[in-house]
Amino acid sequence: MERGEAVQQPTSRDVSRIKAVLTMILDMTYRTQNHHTGFVIDLICRLVVRFEFTQNKTISKEYFCDAVRCHIDIPLERTHVLTILNEELDIMIEEMQEVSMQCDLSFVSEPTWPEAFYPK
C-alpha cells in the first residue's frame, strides 16, 4: 500500500472474500491431497502451518495477515484483517492439521515446509 493511500474499513464483502479464499484453499487441499497444490495454495498453507507451530504467535499471525492481504489485494488496516482472521484461523488450523496427517506431512520433527516459515 502506498503512503497517503486511504485505508478502507472492512465491509461484509471484504470479510466474505477472506473467508472464501481460506475456504477455497482448504477445499482444494482436501480434493488434491498431494504436494502439488499450486503456488498460492502452497504459500497460504505454509503460512497457516507457520502460524500454528511457531512459538511467537503474534509475529507469525501478523506475517500471515500481511501475506493474505498481499495475495488477496484488499487494502485494509492490519488490525481489522487480524480481527477477521482471528475469527476463522483456529478452525482452519485444526482442519489443516487433519489434512496434513492424511498427506503424511510433518511439521514438528521433520518439517516438510521450507525453513523460512519457521522461527529462528
* pLDDT score at 93: 63
Q: Give the Cα-Cα-Cα angle 53, 58, 59 (nearest 5 degrees).
A: 80
Backbone angles phi, psi at 117, to 5 degrees: -95, 10
Task: State the pTM of this model.
Answer: 0.30
* pLDDT score at 4: 55
Confidence of residue 60 (pLDDT cuts 50, 70, 90): low
The answer to whether the beta carbons of residues 82 and 66 sit under 8 Å apart is no
Q: What is the mean pLDDT of residues 29-35?
A: 50
Q: Over the chain, what is the mean pLDDT?
A: 57
Q: What is the mean pLDDT of residues 9-22?
A: 58
Give me the DSSP letters along 58-86.
HHHHHHHHHHHHHHHT--B-HHHHHHHHH
